[in-house]
Structure 1
């Protein structure tokens, strides 16, 4: 098939994934070369705006089973049912590619993701949803253990909440250890989140009264992503980068050309399809030296993002952008819980 995303994938191996998609956006992905679907606990909150009837029907089905579980447990059941829709729709892509593509991601409850036993128990439930499920785990010390174990079981994974080179390396090594324990070759993708990282640094600058231009800030996340990608290439890790949190088309165009995945909202995907930018590789480009120097001078968390030995795994959970994203994911669960309660009280 012809088309912009097809051409980028055919030429460079850069994978297009759709993030938290509505039904029209799932179909857009299928029609335009998306190889997978990314989702997180904010997925249902997103669909409440675009497809409220679909979400309400699922909530009512869950409530109709007379569960004694609290609303937070019910929220996770709602997420599983919501994710089951793209899971079914991408199954053909999974089978046609012999399991290489067609994965659909699901993530567990952020309120309990520091508990290894609960992470593994959730993963066992998610694994039963379908052959093309891919399980998201936090890029934290707890997530390191969980990812190695799930890899050893032959299950595909995404390490999420990763913003930094040390997180990428730590999770890639965990995946490699897991591969040594199995004859299977499950996929592993590890996030770097440029757009979200830039937002975090902008908030950090505002808190501390740091003067920084938006043009300089806009290079921070891309620089971290490229640093991680260079290590991926040098060490030939099996786990690839999945760049997420895109806020602008340039978060795609500046990383296209790499053997990595990039997630896009339906809105950004439509913009790129309409613009059809040149199919060129930019992943090996770099920000001007003075820009990187300014970022390093003004933001300790930028140094932590780019320098491999800047953090150990026990520090990941308290890393500023990780905390920010964790809180955002928890808000996603809270939104579902509130909606469940409203449906209970009708």
Structure 2
């Protein structure tokens, strides 16, 4: 009989690789913790999905909030709801947070995606989040303004989870911003021992963007290679992180295939996995073995680099400047989706505040 409940549990117990649940839904997070999860993440799309799946659990509370805050806008109600969802999920992770001295057991809360150009607004909202839950990683997009906010939030002693990030240049910009923030704290004699910053690379969305580009520009590449774009970017960023000894850890998100799990096993990284993918991985015959140090086939990198300019921009450390982050295709697509997810959340709340009289 195996000493481990599942492959993810085995990975979490036998390697440096951490497993997080990519949702704040209580049932999904409980499943994750049972199988070794030590953190959780959320974003506007995930919040809407959670609300839709368990609307009956939250409808009454939303109506109560509407009554408690008679002058509140739908935005006010939305963020009050997000706060309460976060508090509920964060409590499940508090035992791990306390046991590890704050290094693990954290919930990631995302700033309003509409603030992607406003560093000051992101910092202000991050400071609010830090008052809501103690075991926080605050998520901000890796835009030009986001990089500035990441440094400032780090300086204020809040651990970040940089998101809307798909490339090596973004990951390096985040790591350097965190180091600047930590050095400012150190210079003032402030404690950095409990800081646990991470930088996401949304590997599946990196793959998605390469597929969009090849389809849009009529580029023919080996279709199997397109499943490796995000893995190649992540492994290259990890190599540089290890060489430079950054405080920040890399985090893989946006799952599309088992490479986005299996290829990163053994790395000192975080894998934030949606519950449906966690169950697939736990039911698979993919073995738990160290693969992080195994390089991606050079033929894959050569073909993707020679045929897809946006892969080169994603893979090479100097492929983009922070001023170019905002207009990179994967960034634009994801920001639009996240802003759309927030708009959908507001629409759900609006329908409760002022129901459609025609229905």
TM range (shorter): over 0.9
Q: Measure how far apart 1:297 and its partner are.
A: 2.0
Task: Give the TM-score normalised by the residue count of structure 1.
Answer: 0.95
Cα distance in 1 for partners of 2:125, 2:300 equals: 43
In 1, are the aligned partners of 2:116 and 2:143 still within 8 Å (CA)? no
| RMSD, aligned α-carbons | 1.6
Query: Residue 240 of structure 1: which of 242, 245, 249 is its match?
Result: 249
Matched position secondary structure for 1:334: helix
Q: Measure how far apart 1:284 and its partner are.
A: 2.0
Q: Does 1:61 align with 2:64?
A: yes
1:80-114: CA deviations, max 9, x gaps? Answer: 22222111111111111111111001001111221
Which structure 2 residue ranges, 5 or more long, are not aligned?
186-190
Counterpart in the other structure of 2:75: 72
Cα distance in 2 for partners of 1:33, 1:230 equals: 26
Q: Measure how far apart 1:159 and its partner are.
A: 0.7
Q: Does 1:13 align with 2:16?
A: yes
78-87 or 262-271, larger mean C-alpha shift: 78-87
Query: Residue 292 of structure 1: which of 298, 301, 320 is its match?
Result: 301
Q: Measure how far apart 1:245 and its partner are.
A: 0.6
Q: After TM superposition, what 4+ stretches of structure 1 lie above 3 angstroms from structure 2?
A: none
Cα distance in 2 for partners of 1:57, 1:258 equals: 43
In 2, are the aligned partners of 1:113 and 1:138 still within 8 Å (CA)? yes
Query: Residue 113 of structure 2: which of 110, 113, 131 is its match?
Result: 110
191-200 or 143-152, larger mean C-alpha shift: 143-152
Q: Measure how far apart 1:215 and its partner are.
A: 0.8
Matched position secondary structure for 1:184: coil
Which structure 1 residue ranges, 5 or more long, are not aligned?
none
In 2, are the aligned partners of 1:90 and 1:102 still within 8 Å (CA)? yes
In 2, are the aligned partners of 1:58 and 1:81 still within 8 Å (CA)? no
Q: Measure how far apart 1:276 and its partner are.
A: 5.5
Counterpart in the other structure of 2:54: 51
Counterpart in the other structure of 1:303: 312
Q: Does 1:217 align with 2:226?
A: yes
Counterpart in the other structure of 1:279: 288
Matched position secondary structure for 1:135: strand
Q: Measure how far apart 1:11 and its partner are.
A: 2.7
1:269-310: CA deviations, max 9, x gaps? Answer: 111222253121111223322222221122111001111111
326-335 or 45-54, larger mean C-alpha shift: 45-54
Matched position secondary structure for 2:288: coil
Counterpart in the other structure of 2:205: 196
In 1, are the aligned partners of 2:25 and 2:89 still within 8 Å (CA)? no
Counterpart in the other structure of 1:330: 339
For the structure 1 residues 27 and 203, does the alpha-carbon distance in structure 2 shift closer, same or farther, using more than 3 Å as the test? Answer: same
Query: Residue 88 of structure 1: which of 88, 91, 98 is its match?
Result: 91
Query: Residue 100 of structure 1: which of 100, 103, 111 is its match?
Result: 103
Q: Does 1:2 align with 2:4?
A: yes
Q: Measure how far apart 1:170 and its partner are.
A: 0.9
Q: Measure how far apart 1:69 and its partner are.
A: 3.6
Q: Does 1:152 align with 2:155?
A: yes
Counterpart in the other structure of 1:27: 30
Matched position secondary structure for 2:318: helix
In 2, are the aligned partners of 1:44 and 1:55 still within 8 Å (CA)? no
In 2, are the aligned partners of 1:136 and 1:157 still within 8 Å (CA)? yes
Q: Measure how far apart 1:216 and its partner are.
A: 1.1
Q: Does 1:165 align with 2:168?
A: yes
Counterpart in the other structure of 1:142: 145
Give aligned pairs, total. 346
In 2, are the aligned partners of 1:168 and 1:228 still within 8 Å (CA)? yes
In 2, are the aligned partners of 1:252 and 1:262 still within 8 Å (CA)? yes
Matched position secondary structure for 1:310: coil
Query: Residue 43 of structure 2: which of 22, 33, 40 is its match?
Result: 40
